[in-house]
Structure 1
Amino acid sequence: MKMPYSLENVKKEDETITSKLNDDVTLIENIDDNGAVHELIMVGQGEGTDIVLTMGLLIGITNPDLSQKDVGQVLMDLSLFDESYKYQKNETKVEKNTIRYNLKYDQDADVILVFQK
């Protein structure tokens, strides 16, 4: 499967790196004093399939000990596939292997997924 992603428009500031994966997905990495990423924020806009696929990929990358089934369970636990869940009013948090995933909806940015270690 060919992934239509590439890191473009990389912008680095003192403690933040902003990268655009495609037209729908932007990544923001917050760097600690040691130069390690302590928070990864994915902002997704547009078609849901690309956003869900990217979320699954990022969960697998940030938590490599998870199986594909575990990654799917994280997405389920975030209520991503629950059509009755009110994202506009709620945010969901799931923790797996010391990584916390926080899914929230922002009217301006659509979907925001935060990975914190």
Structure 2
Amino acid sequence: MSGIEPRENGYDLLMVDHETAFQSLDGTALFGSVCPAETPGGLAVLVHGSGVTREEGGFFTRLAAGLAASGVTSLRFDLRAHGTSGGRESELTIASVTRPWTAPAASTSTAPAP
């Protein structure tokens, strides 16, 4: 778990992330962070761009805090061959990167609370 200190962004809270892991359809291990809303009202899957990680330089971390404050649970994960997820850059294709997007949403919406 990682705590995010309150900042001058209008969110007066201490956000707690829960680390998670799941497998893509081809078995590649993908790792991410779930930021649960206190009173869940929806789910957002945050997908980073090429060459960065699930934190998007801190932007996704702040976005997750704002979403949680608004009642939206979020999941951000490292795409294949990024951050702590498995895979090699030489194996990256559009299909191999986009295919796993449905797996985390399904596992997050059915997973018990930490």
Q: Normalising by structure 1, report the TM-score.
A: 0.29
Question: Which of the pair is proportionally richer in helix?
Answer: 2
Q: Normalising by structure 2, report the TM-score.
A: 0.29
